Structure 1
Amino acid sequence: MVDFNYCNLTAGSDKQTMITAEKLALLRGGQTLFDDSSFQVFPQHRVGLVGKNGCGKSSLFSLCRNELQADEGQLNIPAKWRIASVAQDTPALEQSALNYVIDGDKPYRQLQSELDQAESANDGHRIAEIHDQLAAIGSFDIEARASAMLAGLGFEQSQLGNPVKSFSGGWRMRLNLAQALMARADLLLLDEPTNHLDVDAIFWLEDYLRQFDGTLILISHDRDFLDSVCTDILHIEHQRITQYRGNYSQFEAQRAEQIAQQQSQYEKAQVMREHLQKYVDRFRYKASKAKQAQSRLKAIEKLPTQAPLRAQADIRFSFLTPPQLPNPLMTLRDTRAGYGDTTILRHIKLNLVPGTRLGLLGRNGAGKSTLIKLLAGELPPLDGERTVSPGLRIGYFAQHQLETLDLQASALLHLQRLDPQASEQTLRDFLGSFGFSGDQATRSVEPMSGGEKARLALAIIIYQKPNLLLLDEPTNHLDLSLRDTLVDALQEYEGALIVVAHDRHLLRTTVDEFCLVANGEVNPFDGDLDDYHRWLQDQAAAQRSEAKQTDNSDDKKRDRKEQKRLEAAFRQQVAPLKKRIQQRETEISKLEQQLSDLHDQLSDSSLYDDSNKDKLQQLLATQTELKQSLELAESDWMEAEEELSQHQQEFEQANNA
C-alpha cells in the first residue's frame, strides 16, 4: 500500500508554503551523511535528489516522512501537507489490481466508507451531502483515471481485475507506484521509480510527472529522466547538500563551472603566496622593512590553503581485449524462440559481426529477454539455425545477474575460481579498478550493496574477455557516475554489443542501430529513441481506435445498462429532496386548510361584538402565526424545487455529453 501521512515536522506553521532546511545535519551509524546544509523547495517544483550510493538520499526521504529526526538544524515542511511515497512491500492480496491502485486516493475511500454508513442508517440528507462531496473531488472518473495510469505503466486491460497476489515482484512495484500517483499528495517522494519500468512506461511517467500539480522530490540515476522532469537539483557530496536550479544537465554544467572557478582562484592565490613569501624571506630581518614583511605574512595567512573539493574519485574500468574476433560471431537463420510449445518469437534473422552495436526496443513482455537468452545459448531454438563461430566468447549480464553471485564467497574468490593460475596480486589489481581494493576484495558478497554486487558481476564478465556482450538491464543498481563509467567502457569495447536497457542515455551513447521486438518478430527499426516514442504513441492511438470500434457493437446494451445505473444513482441522490418537497406540500396543504377554516370563522359578524373581543384577538393572532408558517413552508418548498431542478439539468447535460 502507498505510504501516506500528514507531516508533523519542526516549526511548520499553517502559513508556510514551502520546504526549508536550515543548517541540517544527520548522522547514521556514527557516520555523518550531511552537515550544515540549507536549501528551499518551492511548491510545484520538481526536485532531483542525486549523489553517490550511500550518501544519504534515502535518509533525507526518511526525514521528510518524519521517520528520522535531524541531529542538528531543522527540516520544515508545511504542517498540513500530505506526503505520499511508494511502499516497498506489497502483501499477497486477493484484492484486484484496479481497486488496490484506487486505494491510493484516501479522500475518495473515506467518503465511500461514510456513504456506506449513511446508506445503512438510511440518512438521506447525509447521503446527498456525500454525493456532492464525491462529485467535487471528481470521483465519477476515478476508475478511468486508475485504468489509464495502469495502462501507462504497462498493464493490459485484461489484467486490471486480477488479484494483486498474481503479479510478480516487479509488477507489484508498478502497482505500488500507481497507488502513490493516485494519492492527492502535496509532496510526492519517488525513490528510483524507473527501476522496474521499460522505456515506454518511462515515457508515460515523464509526461505524468511534468503535469503533477504538487511538489515532487525524486531520487534517480537516469539522467534523461532527470533532465525531462526536474526543475531543480539537490546534490549530496562531501557531506553537504547543495541546491542548483535547472535539470541534471544544467546542474552538471553549473557544478563544473564552480569547480573550475574555485580551481582558478586557488591557483591565483598560490602565485600570490609565492610572490609574498619571496618578499618576506628577503626583508624579514631588515629593520626598515620589518613592518611591510609582517603585513605580507598576515596577507599570506588569509590566502586559501586548500584546493577546491573535486568530485569524489570515480571508479574507472575498461573492457579487456578479446583474444580473437571471429567474423561472423553468430548467425540466426529463420529461428523460432520460445518455451516448450509456446512460441514467443519467429523468423529471427541476425548476423552478428565484430563492431555490431545493437539496441533492442519493444514493450515489456514482447520478447527482448527471450531473444537475449537465445543469443546467450541459455534457450535452445525451437526451430531454425543458431550458428556460432569457433572462438566465440559470450559475456551475458542478465536482469537477475546479481542472484548468480555466491553470497559467501569474496570478490577475489569469484575470480580465482575463474582463473586458478592467475596470481593473487594480478586479480587484486584488476578488482581495484572496480572499487574492490584492500579488505574489500576479500570480504563476502552477502553484505554488499546492490551497486557493489553489480560492479562485481560486471568485473567477472569483463575478466573473461568476451567478444560478444549481451546486456539485459545492466544499469539497475548503478549510480550516475558508474553508469558514465560503463558508457565510457562500452564506447571503447571492440566486440559485438547487444543491449536491452531502460536507460536512454546508455542506449543513445553506446549503440548504432536498433531492432524492434514486436508482434512476435524481430525487425530493424529505422529511427532513434524519439522515433520509437512516436511509434509507441501511434500504437496506443491505434489500440484506442480499435477498442472504440469494438465497443461500438455493444454500445446499445452498455448504454442501456449504464443509463439504468445512472438513473438509479440519480434517484438515490435526489430522494431526500423529493421527500422534503413532499413534506412541505403536505404542510402547505394543511396550513391552507387551517387558514380557510379560520377565514370562515372570521366571517361571522357576531365575532365583532364587544363581548367576543378576546376571541377575535385570539383568532387574529392564530391567523398571523399560520400565515407566517405558510410563508416559511412555501419558501422552503420553492428552494427545494429549485435545487431539484438544478440536479435534473445537470443529470440531463451529463447524459447528453
Structure 2
Amino acid sequence: MATTYVEILRSEFPEIDSELFNYITGVLGNGGSDFEDGEDVFDAIGGVLQEMSPDSKNEDDIRDICQLMFNTLQLSPCPAAQRQVLLDAPVQLSQMSTDTTPAAKEVQGIWMMKRSQNTMVDAKKLEKAEAKLKAKHERRNEKDSQKTTSPIVLDEASASQASSKKDARVDQSTKNRSYDIRIENFDVSFGERCLLQGAELSLASGRRYGLIGRNGLGKTTLLKMLASRNLRVPPHISILHVEQEVAGDETAALQSVLESDTLREDLLSEERRLNARIANGTAEGTESVRLSEIYGKLEEIEADKAPARASVILAGLGFSPKMQQQPTKEFSGGWRMRLALARALFGRPDLLLLDEPTNMLDVRAILWLENYLQTWQSTILVVSHDRNFLNAVVTDIIHLHSQRLDCYRGDYENFVKTKEDRLKNQHREYEAQLQYRQHIQVFIDRFRYNANRAAQVQSKLKLLEKLPELKPIDKEAEVALRFPDNFEKLSPPILQLDEVEFYYTPDLRLFSGLNLSADLESRICIVGQNGAGKSTVLKLLMGELTPVDGTRQAHRNLKIGYFSQHHVDQLDLNVCSIELLLNKFPGRPEEEYRHQLGGYGITGELATRPVASLSGGQKSRVAFAQMTMACPNFYILDEPTNHLDMETIEALATALNKFRGGVILVSHDERLIRMVCKELWVCDGGKVWRMDGGFDEYRDVLHEQFRKEGYL
C-alpha cells in the first residue's frame, strides 16, 4: 500500500501534539481537491510545520515534505472515500442529500476551530496561516464562479434519497462486501421538473442492463447522479462514466489508455523511483523489500500484458497501429470519444456507465464492441437506442417511464413481448374492475330510494368507497413524424456524380473515378469505417464540395434537405425552438411554427425552453423540424438516429418510407437500414460501390474480417 500523508506526518514529526496533528490532517483531508501542487500545500501548512520542526529541517526540507504529502493526495483516496477510476472528465456536483447535513455542521471549516493556548506553535502565526488558506479558498471560488458565467442559466439536476443510520453502517463495514447495488425510494429532478419519484434501482453484480425510455425523461441525468454519487452507491464499488471526450495533449493514444489504470501507473512510478535510489546508492534496506512487493503486485495484475490488451481494445474501436501512437490532440472529437470508451473498457470498473456508446462508432466497431461486452465480468448500465446492440449485449432491460423504473429480464425483444403481455393483462384487469364498479353503481342507483333495501344500499356505498382508485392504463403516446412531399415529380437525371476525383491535398487522394446516381425513388444507405469518406461523399452530392475532376449534375428543381451528424452545430442554442424557426423562416404566424414543432414532438412548454436545455433527442427533433419546414424533395441524412429513442427511430423509418422524394443516408443503425434502404453503398479505399447482398452480406464480410484478425 502506498504511503499516506498521515504516515508521512507522523514519520517526519514524531513528537507532534494531537491538536496540531488533527489540524493538519483536517486541512489535507477536507481540502485535498483544492490543492493544485506541493506549493499550495506549503502555503497552507508550511508555516505551521516550520514552527514545530526541529533545527535539522530547513525551509527546503519542509517544501519537500509538503510535496510528498501532495503526491499522496493525488495517488490515494482519503480513508473515508472510495477508490474510483475516472476519465479526464469533470464531475458535476448537485445538491447533497439531507443526511449529510449533520456531518457538514461538525466540520465547519478548519479556520473556525478553537484551539488551546498550550500549543507548540505561536497562536498568531497559526491564525495567520488559517487566514491565508481561507483567502485562497475564497479567491478560487470567485475564480470558478467567473468561469461558469454564461448568457444562459440552465437548470441543474439533483437527486435525493431516503437513508438510515443502518445504511451508513453497512457502507462503512468492511465485512461481507457485496458488489450488488440497490437504491430505494429516491427522487431525481432537473430544475423544477421531477424525473423520478419514489423510484427503486437494483443492479446485480455481473449483469448487463440496458436503460431505455423516451427522449427527455432523464436517462442521461440518472447516469450522472450515479456517477457523482448523488445517489448512494456503496463506497467500495468503483464507477466509471463515459461522458466526455478525452482532453487533447501530447500523450499518445495507447499511453492515454494505459494511464487510465491508476494502480498500475502508481506501482510503475514507485518502481522507477526506488530503482533510481538503488542505482545511486541512496536506498535503505526497507526499500529493497518494498521493491520486491511491487514486483509481486505487478505480476499479480499482469502489468506486462497491459500494453497488448490496450492495443487490442484500440484496434477493435478502429485505431490503426499508427493512430495508437498519435498524440491525443491530433484526433477529432469523435475519435476522442472512442478513446474515452477505450479507457473505460481498459480500466474495468465495478460499475460501467455508458451513454449511447454506438453514436461515435461505425458498424464494424459496433460489432466488435458487442462481442467484447458479452464477456464483461462486472456490472454495466448502458443507455442505447440501438435495438440490435441491446439484443446482443444486455441481460436485463430497465424501462424509465411515468417517473419510475421497471425492470425486465432478458434482451430488448423479450422486453417488447413481456411489456405487451403486461399491458394486455392490465387492460383486462382494468375492464374487469370497471365492470364490477358499474355493477355496484347500478344496484345503488336502482334501490337508492327503496326503504326495504336501505341497508344493502349503504353496504354497497361503503364497499364502493373502500375500493382503491381506478386509474386508466398508463400507455405511452405513439410517436409520429411526417416529411411533407407536396412537390412535383422530377424527370431523371436527378442527382449524379460522373468520374469524380476529389482530394483535400494533392498528395492524399480521397476519391477517384466516382460514379454515383440517385433519383426520387432512391433509398440508399452508405456504410464504411469512420474516416473512409462517407460524409465527404454526401457533401460532393450536395455540391458543398467541388470535385477536382469530373462533374456533378443535379436537376434545376432539386431541393435538398440536409441533416448533419453534428446537427447541434446548426442550431442556435441561446433561443427557444419557436424563435429558432422564426429566425430561419421569418414572417409566418406563431401557430405555424408551433404546428411544425408539434409534428416532431416539441409541444407546449418544450417549445419555449432554450434549445440548450433540451435533451440530445429533443435537439434532434428540433433539427428535423427546421430541415423539413422548407419542404425539400430530396433528403441527405448523416447519422440521423444519434440520440433518438427507439420509438422515434421507428417513426422516422415509417416517415421516410411514406416520403415520395429521394433519400440517401449514412447510418450505423441496423434496424433503420433494414426498414428503409433498398440499396447499400460501401465506402472504402477511395471507392464507393453497391453491395448487392445488402446489409446481411456486409455484416458477413465484417465477421469474416474479425475471424482473420483474431477478434472472434
Return the TM-score normalized by structure 2: 0.70
Aligned to 1:386: 552
**Matched residues in 1 for 2:579 and 2:276: separation?**
68
SS in 1 for 2:626: helix
SS in 2 for 1:365: coil
Alignment-mate amino acid for residue 133 of structure 1: K
C-alpha change, 1:124 and 1:433, in structure 2 (3 Å) is: same
Alignment-mate amino acid for residue 503 of structure 2: G
**Matched residues in 1 for 2:298 and 2:678: separation?**
52
Q: Which of the numbers 352, 355, 360 marks the counterpart of 2:521?
A: 355
Whether contact under 8 Å (1:337, 1:370) holds in the other structure is: no
**Matched residues in 1 for 2:581 and 2:190: separation?**
33
Q: What does residue range 306-345 of structure 1 map to in structure 2 within 5 Å?
A: 306-311=471-476, 313-328=477-492, 329-341=494-506, 342-345=508-511
C-alpha change, 1:544 and 1:61, in structure 2 (3 Å) is: closer
Q: What does residue range 141-160 of structure 1 map to in structure 2 within 5 Å?
A: 141-160=305-324
Whether contact under 8 Å (2:527, 2:668) holds in the other structure is: no
Show structure 1 runs of 5+ residues with no match: 70-74, 546-657
Aligned to 2:158: none
C-alpha change, 1:543 and 1:233, in structure 2 (3 Å) is: closer
Q: What does residue range 609-628 of structure 1 map to in structure 2 within 5 Å?
A: none
What's the Cα RMSD here? 2.7
Aligned to 1:20: 182
Q: Which of the numbers 249, 262, 265 marks the counterpart of 2:413?
A: 249
| Residue deviations 1:208-251 (CA, integer Å, cap 9, x gap) | 11111111111222222112111011222111111111112222
Alignment-mate amino acid for residue 229 of structure 2: E
Aligned to 1:113: 269
C-alpha change, 1:142 and 1:220, in structure 2 (3 Å) is: same
**Matched residues in 1 for 2:462 and 2:366: separation?**
58
Alignment-mate amino acid for residue 98 of structure 1: L
C-alpha change, 1:109 and 1:530, in structure 2 (3 Å) is: farther
Whether contact under 8 Å (1:358, 1:499) holds in the other structure is: yes
SS in 1 for 2:359: coil
**Matched residues in 1 for 2:262 and 2:559: separation?**
54
SS in 2 for 1:205: helix
SS in 2 for 1:306: coil
**Matched residues in 2 for 1:542 and 1:228: separation?**
21
Whether contact under 8 Å (2:354, 2:383) holds in the other structure is: yes
**Matched residues in 2 for 1:409 and 1:327: separation?**
40
Whether contact under 8 Å (1:324, 1:391) holds in the other structure is: no
Aligned to 2:257: 101
| Residue deviations 1:275-311 (CA, integer Å, cap 9, x gap) | 2211111112223222222333234331652212112
Aligned to 1:259: 423
**Matched residues in 2 for 1:241 and 1:326: separation?**
50
**Matched residues in 2 for 1:394 and 1:363: separation?**
25
C-alpha change, 1:330 and 1:214, in structure 2 (3 Å) is: same
Q: Which of the numbers 184, 191, 206 marks the counterpart of 1:44?
A: 206
> How big is the shift at 1:60?
2.9
**Matched residues in 1 for 2:590 and 2:441: separation?**
49
**Matched residues in 1 for 2:339 and 2:382: separation?**
18
Alignment-mate amino acid for residue 51 of structure 1: G
C-alpha change, 1:188 and 1:282, in structure 2 (3 Å) is: same
1:84 aligns with 2:240: yes
| Residue deviations 1:578-631 (CA, integer Å, cap 9, x gap) | xxxxxxxxxxxxxxxxxxxxxxxxxxxxxxxxxxxxxxxxxxxxxxxxxxxxxx
C-alpha change, 1:539 and 1:338, in structure 2 (3 Å) is: farther
C-alpha change, 1:516 and 1:62, in structure 2 (3 Å) is: closer
**Matched residues in 2 for 1:534 and 1:127: separation?**
50
Aligned to 1:295: 459
Q: Which of the numbers 382, 385, 390 marks the counterpart of 1:221?
A: 385
Q: How many residues align?
A: 537
Q: Which moved more, 1:288-297 or 1:122-131?
A: 122-131
| Residue deviations 1:546-567 (CA, integer Å, cap 9, x gap) | xxxxxxxxxxxxxxxxxxxxxx
Alignment-mate amino acid for residue 698 of structure 2: Y
Aligned to 1:175: 339
Q: Which moved more, 1:459-468 or 1:84-93?
A: 84-93
1:473 aligns with 2:639: yes
> How big is the shift at 1:199?
1.4
Q: What does residue range 539-618 of structure 1 map to in structure 2 within 5 Å?
A: 539=705
1:137 aligns with 2:137: no
1:192 aligns with 2:269: no
Whether contact under 8 Å (2:399, 2:405) holds in the other structure is: yes
Whether contact under 8 Å (2:251, 2:328) holds in the other structure is: yes
Alignment-mate amino acid for residue 444 of structure 2: V
**Matched residues in 1 for 2:196 and 2:585: separation?**
42
Same amino acid, percent of matched pairs = 37
Aligned to 1:607: none
Alignment-mate amino acid for residue 332 of structure 1: L
**Matched residues in 2 for 1:194 and 1:520: separation?**
25
Whether contact under 8 Å (2:388, 2:671) holds in the other structure is: yes
Alignment-mate amino acid for residue 129 of structure 1: E
**Matched residues in 1 for 2:193 and 2:375: separation?**
38
1:436 aligns with 2:631: no
SS in 2 for 1:381: coil
**Matched residues in 2 for 1:445 and 1:22: separation?**
33
SS in 1 for 2:341: helix
SS in 2 for 1:6: coil
Whether contact under 8 Å (2:559, 2:633) holds in the other structure is: yes
**Matched residues in 1 for 2:707 and 2:447: separation?**
84
C-alpha change, 1:450 and 1:127, in structure 2 (3 Å) is: same
Return the TM-score normalized by structure 1: 0.76
Alignment-mate amino acid for residue 200 of structure 1: R
> How big is the shift at 1:23?
2.2
> How big is the shift at 1:197?
1.4
Q: Which of the numbers 414, 431, 442 marks the counterpart of 1:278?
A: 442
> How big is the shift at 1:444?
4.9
**Matched residues in 1 for 2:179 and 2:680: separation?**
47
Alignment-mate amino acid for residue 184 of structure 2: E
Q: Which moved more, 1:435-444 or 1:180-189?
A: 435-444
Show structure 2 runs of 5+ residues with no match: 1-73, 85-99, 101-166, 279-286
**Matched residues in 2 for 1:420 and 1:76: separation?**
51
Q: Which moved more, 1:233-242 or 1:411-420?
A: 411-420
Whether contact under 8 Å (1:234, 1:243) holds in the other structure is: yes
Q: Which moved more, 1:319-328 or 1:524-533?
A: 524-533
C-alpha change, 1:85 and 1:415, in structure 2 (3 Å) is: closer
Aligned to 1:647: none
Q: Which of the numbers 209, 227, 250 marks the counterpart of 1:65?
A: 227
1:34 aligns with 2:196: yes
Q: Which of the numbers 504, 520, 533 marks the counterpart of 2:670?
A: 504
**Matched residues in 1 for 2:290 and 2:588: separation?**
80
| Residue deviations 1:384-434 (CA, integer Å, cap 9, x gap) | 232212321111111123212234554334444555564443333222222
| Residue deviations 1:65-117 (CA, integer Å, cap 9, x gap) | 35314xxxxx553x432222225253332111111101122222122123123
C-alpha change, 1:176 and 1:318, in structure 2 (3 Å) is: same
1:536 aligns with 2:702: yes
> How big is the shift at 1:128?
3.6
| Residue deviations 1:138-184 (CA, integer Å, cap 9, x gap) | 22221111111111111111111111112121111111111111113
